[in-house]
Chains A and B, each alone.
Chain A
Amino acid sequence: MTEAASGAFADLEADELRERFDAENYVAEDEIVTTVLLALRLGKPLLIEGEPGAGKTELAKVLADGFDTDLVRLQCYEGLAAENALYEWNYTKQLLAVQAEEGGVTDGRTVFDEEFLLERPLLEALRGSEEPSVLLIDEVDRADEEFEALLLEVLSDFQISIPELGTVAATAPPIVVITSNRTRKLSDALKRRCLYLHVSPPSFEKEREIVRRKVPQLDPTVAAELCGITQRLREESLLKPPGVAETLDFGRALAMLGDSEEELDRETLRNALGTVLKHAEDVSRVDEELLDDLLDAATRAGPETVEDATD
């Protein structure tokens, strides 16, 4: 099965993948490109770990858009069970069918037919079109360990066993992306089936490039300044350090406020902190002294680095 999965991407080259990422404005380092390429070629699921807001989910979306295919998303949560992830029988429809055609069950027909089957994300991804879809299993660490066990068959063989119907195997195995925020340890059995990628918070240069691409209306100097601020905030001991997503929110907020071409001042920064800090305790940590530091960081990151980048 994995051979079939890899077959669809056997001719895919690193440069082509990088171009697809670029086309979707996704800034990917070489390590990410190589790991994603291997996951595609080997037909193995890609397990991405990292801090919230580091761009893990975005990678799956970019893959779906880049390959112009469907994105099937399974958001995990505590208590997620097989009927929410794999399939479910439409009991109401089954009951009505039995009542409408009394004896219908005995004349060769059965209510355990595809007609009465409700596809949930995993089954939907397996029975998709001829082109492999992208299956995003998001925040798998939120689900229970029992759910991980359920995933094993799907991820190993890209098939699901339905006792009443038999085994449903994928025609075109999906590209599987599993994300985890590392709130709990995942089982080795699950990890063994995946290629592993850890997404770290981006460097200043990478973050500036991301902001430049995602919020093009923002002045480059202001973009560099706000990246300097989020980089400085990550050095603080915060309950939730800002991720790239927060930096982008920050940039969009400035663009919306019409301050996208002016240098950041103290008041704007104070007002916009809510876009990057998501805990009251974190916001309260930003006192006048830290605000000074943040403005210093912004000044240092501003015009000079923009000149460097344009040289």
Chain B
Amino acid sequence: MPPGDDPADAESGGITATVLDSVVGFVRRLRSEGVVVPADAGIVATRALTELDEPDKAAVRAALKATLVIRQRDAERFEELFDAFWHDLRVDARDVPDVLEGLADAANPPEPYTEDQQLPSRTERGGETDAGGESDESVTETEEQGFQRVTGDRFEESAEEGESVEVASYSPTGKRSRIDVVPSRGGYGLEEAVVRMTGALSTMTGRRRTPATSGRFVDGRRALRGSFETGGVVTSLPESEPQQSEVRGTVLVDVSQSVLDTIERGFLLEWLRLLADHWRSLRVFFFDTEVREVTDSFDRRTVGDVSEALARAEAAWGGGTQIGSAFTTLKRSYPGAVDRRTAVLVVSDGLERGELTDLSEGAAWLSRRAALFLWLNPLATHPEYEPTARGMAAVLPVVDGLFAFATEEDVAEFARQLDRHDRRRLGYRFDPPRPE
């Protein structure tokens, strides 16, 4: 691992505080899972990482396994937890891109997609779906206040018989329509959750921290510096807490038909309007097969005003989905929309019809460049949901958190997680939704 350019790196032998933080955190995590890790193993592991010529995933895994695991029975647990650690290391690489560029780029590509991993077939409609006579019988559609919610009693073969689950209709190309005035059903109860979310993000998107007696983070650099006085043994772990900063964000909203089938338009616009209201700066992009910036439309007081503004801006929704292409366009045409102080939120079901390579590369770019990269998936509301759709599987390794997004409760839940958890432990992977 090459030494960093940061002069501060010299004091810790070429290892950045970020990597040290990650290793210390990983050691803690291993111990909390019952793995026996020697007292000074974190130091040895960090030294081992500095000795690697090519710190790719396999080499880092071998180095940490050799230094942190002393019982073969712990090896399996180590393997399970290592993937999360590697993901964290990639996330943190954004803080020190020069030093860890090699690590970040060497990360494994997403799992190859196989047909049988795809999310079960959508409630089919249109040309390719008319033949599905049987499934049509079991599908009911409800329409309420400007949005459709499609329910069916078949989700997956393994789903229990008669169980009603929500699925989205899939639209390969979609039929785009102009945005009309969206009726608002009044109070969505989103204000409190948005305020909580804003407060949480104000301490999460910045990397500056201040020493604290009971902070949320271990100050690895100070711990290492202190350990020099005790012969390399860490006797106490100094802690720090993040400084509050202004929240800047970019929201990319998938307005393809498949998303709009599962999410209420008024709810979506109200949420965006509140974000624009509370955040210091917010840029909003709608995308289906194209990307359109609609930021200006959200500087309004009501959902009706917002939809009128969108209509005036000739924005449209309901097309097909090419998420990867949208990310590429964003990167090429709006590079300033994403930087290291920006939280990026993508609202999409991950049902990609474009090239998966574009999607995974675009998502990796967002992950490296943004301070925080969250994915809000309207399909994830169901407890049986698994992010196995090809698009979702491709981006999952690089997103900081995957959340459901269809109701007020979903917004409250991810605001709660943002408020409560470290950004390395966001999403249902670490804090699954609780059954009611």
Contacts and interface: CB of A to CB of B under 8 A. Distances in A.
Contacts of B8: none
B62 A198 contact: no
A192 B66 contact: no
Interface in B110-136: none
Contacts of B137: none
B54 A14 contact: yes
Contacts of B36: 188
A165 to B, nearest CB: 27
Interface string A156-198: 0000000000000000000000000010000010011001111
Contacts of A6: 51
Given A13-B53, A42-B47, A197-B66, A30 B72 contact: no
Contact of A49 (B41, B53, B61, B72): B72
A94 interface: no
Contacts, number: 60
B72 A198 contact: yes
Interface in B51-72: 51-54, 58-59, 61-63, 65-67, 69-70, 72
B48 A42 contact: yes
Given A41-B51, A192-B39, A34 B62 contact: yes
A34 B40 contact: no
Nearest to A41: B51
A188 B40 CA distance: 12
Nearest to A44: B44
A191 B53 CA distance: 25
Interface string A36-48: 0111011010000
B38 interface: yes
A25 B44 CA distance: 31
A188 B70 contact: yes
B51 A196 contact: no
B369 to A, nearest CB: 30
Contacts of B72: 49, 182, 198
Contact of A192 (B51, B53, B63, B70): B70
B39 A38 contact: no
Given A14-B54, A197-B66, A34 B44 contact: no
A189 to B, nearest CB: 9
B77 to A, nearest CB: 14
Among A37, A41, A44, A196, chain B packs the most CB atoms within 10 A around the CB of A196
A34 B63 contact: yes
A197 B67 CA distance: 9
A191 B41 CA distance: 10
Interface in A1-56: 6, 13-14, 30-31, 34-35, 37-39, 41-42, 44, 49
Contacts of A13: 53
Interface in B395-435: none
A192 B38 contact: yes
B70 A30 contact: no
A13 B41 CA distance: 24
A42 B51 contact: yes
Contacts of B54: 14
A30 B52 CA distance: 13
Contacts of A188: 36, 38, 70
A192 B59 contact: no
A38 B66 contact: yes
A182 to B, nearest CB: 7
Nearest to A39: B66
Contacts of B51: 6, 37-38, 41-42
A30 B58 contact: yes
Interface in B31-53: 36, 38-41, 44, 47-48, 51-53
Interface in B65-100: 65-67, 69-70, 72, 75
Contacts of B75: 198
Contacts of A197: 66
A195 B66 contact: yes
Contact of A31 (B38, B39, B65): B65
B66 A196 contact: yes
Contacts of B70: 188, 191-192, 196
Contacts of A192: 38-41, 70
A182 B53 CA distance: 32
A30 B62 contact: yes
Contacts of A34: 52, 58-59, 62-63, 66
Contacts of A41: 51
A198 B59 CA distance: 15
B2 to A, nearest CB: 14
Given A14-B53, A42-B47, A42-B48, A196 B69 contact: yes
Among B47, B59, B61, B62, chain A packs the most CB atoms within 10 A around the CB of B62
B348 to A, nearest CB: 37
B69 A42 contact: no
Contacts of B47: 42
Nearest to B47: A42
B48 A38 contact: yes
A224 B428 CA distance: 46
A30 B61 CA distance: 11
Nearest to A6: B51
B38 A191 contact: yes
Nearest to B59: A34
B365 to A, nearest CB: 28
A44 B25 CA distance: 24
Contacts of B67: 38, 195-196
Contacts of B63: 34-35, 38
Given A188-B70, A191-B70, A30 B65 contact: no
Contacts of B53: 13-14
Interface in B182-199: none
A31 B58 CA distance: 7
Given A192-B40, A196-B65, A197-B66, 7 more contacts: A6-B51, A35-B65, A42-B47, A49-B72, A192-B39, A192-B41, A198-B72
Task: Across the A-B interface, give the 7 residue pairs with the lowest CB-CB distance, nearest first.
Answer: A34-B62, A192-B38, A191-B70, A195-B66, A35-B66, A31-B62, A41-B51
20 contacts: A14-B53, A14-B54, A14-B59, A30-B58, A30-B62, A34-B62, A35-B63, A35-B65, A35-B66, A38-B51, A42-B47, A42-B48, A49-B72, A188-B36, A191-B70, A192-B38, A196-B67, A196-B69, A197-B66, A198-B72
